[in-house]
């Protein structure tokens, strides 16, 4: 009886180890690819690509569901590095997602701000500080210029101005790999 239990236990452990090994060998490393693509995106989090942020867009590209030319903040250069990473041909930016603009930053006219906090709720990167009924301020170094705080402001006191120093997203030269392309 003891021998049978020992043999059964050894068999289960052996099968488990085999499945673990096969899982590691056979599962497509899409998470890693998503991260590599995400590292090349501007992190503006503006949703112009049609996805709620850079990482969801990166995941859609990794899964072959989105094309590489849907990110206006990344511009033609962004398309080029994505194409190099994925080993596909670069293509023009898809204008239906918007135009590439110079780097911008939000600026709040603090005299007109009524402290409603709606802009704080809209900002995807927590670049606005303020409290209810108090003036709000943009932390310039954190603002990506995504423009998402503009529409909710009831008194239209947020402007976008050209950034004094260009926002340069992290963009390592990619090591080409071949995957499905949309």
User: Of 4-12, 22-30, 40-48, 60-68, which part binds ligand SF4 (CB under 6 A)?
Assistant: 40-48
Nearer to ligand SF4, 10 or 65 (CB): 65
Among 84, 157, 179, 181, the residue binding ligand SF4 under the rule CB under 6 A is: 157
Write out the DSSP string of 65-130: SS-TT--TTTHHHHHHHHHHHHTS------GGG------EEEEE-TTT-----HHHHH-TT--EE-
Instruction: Using the CB atoms, write b or e for 62-93: b if 16+ within 10 Å.
Output: beeebbbbbbbbbeeebbbbbbbbbebebeeb
Quickly list DSSP for 131-177: -TTS--EE-TTT-----TTTTT-TT--EEEEE-SS------PPPPP-
Q: Name the minimum Å distance from CB 106 to ligand SF4.
A: 4
Candidates 36, 82, 147, 174; binder of ligand SF4 (CB under 6 A) is 147
Contacting ligand SF4 (CB under 6 A), which of 34, 36, 48, 69?
Answer: 48
Lay out the site mask for ligand SF4 across 52-91 (x = CB under 6 A, - = otherwise).
-xx--x-------------xxxx-----------------
34 binds ligand SF4 (CB under 6 A): no
Closest by alpha carbon to 99, among 71, 72, 69, 80?
72
Q: Which of 37, 68, 153, 167 binds ligand SF4 (CB under 6 A)?
A: 153
Is 137 a residue that touches ligand SF4 (CB under 6 A)? no
Q: Is residue 69 a contact partner of residue 83, using CB atoms and an 8 Å limit?
A: no
Cα 157 from Cα 147, distance rounded (Å): 13
In the region spanning residues 93 to 132, those forming contacts with ligand SF4, defined by CB under 6 A, are: 106, 108, 113-119, 122-123, 125, 127-128, 130
Binding site for ligand SF4 (CB under 6 A): 41-42, 44-49, 51, 53-54, 57, 71-74, 106, 108, 113-119, 122-123, 125, 127-128, 130, 136, 138, 143-149, 152-153, 155, 157-158
């Amino acid at each position: 009886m003891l021998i049978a239990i020992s043999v059964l236990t050894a068999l289960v452990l052996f099968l488990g180890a085999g499945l673990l090994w096969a899982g590691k060998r056979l599962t497509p490393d899409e998470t890693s690819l998503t991260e590599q693509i995400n590292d090349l995106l501007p992190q503006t989090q503006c949703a112009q690509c049609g996805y709620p942020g850079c990482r969801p867009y990166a995941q859609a590209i990794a899964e072959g569901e989105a094309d590489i030319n849907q990110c206006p903040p990344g511009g033609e250069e962004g398309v080029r590095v994505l194409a190099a990473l994925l080993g596909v041909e670069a293509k023009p930016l898809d204008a239906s997602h918007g135009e590439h603009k110079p780097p911008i930053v939000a600026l709040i006219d603090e005299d007109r701000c009524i402290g409603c906090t709606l802009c704080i709720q809209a900002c995807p990167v927590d670049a606005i500080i303020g409290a209810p009924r108090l003036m709000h301020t943009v932390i310039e170094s954190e603002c990506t210029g995504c423009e998402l705080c503009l529409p909710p402001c009831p008194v239209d006191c947020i402007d976008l101005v050209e950034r004094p120093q260009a926002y340069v997203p992290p963009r390592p030269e990619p090591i080409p790999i071949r995957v499905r392309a949309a």
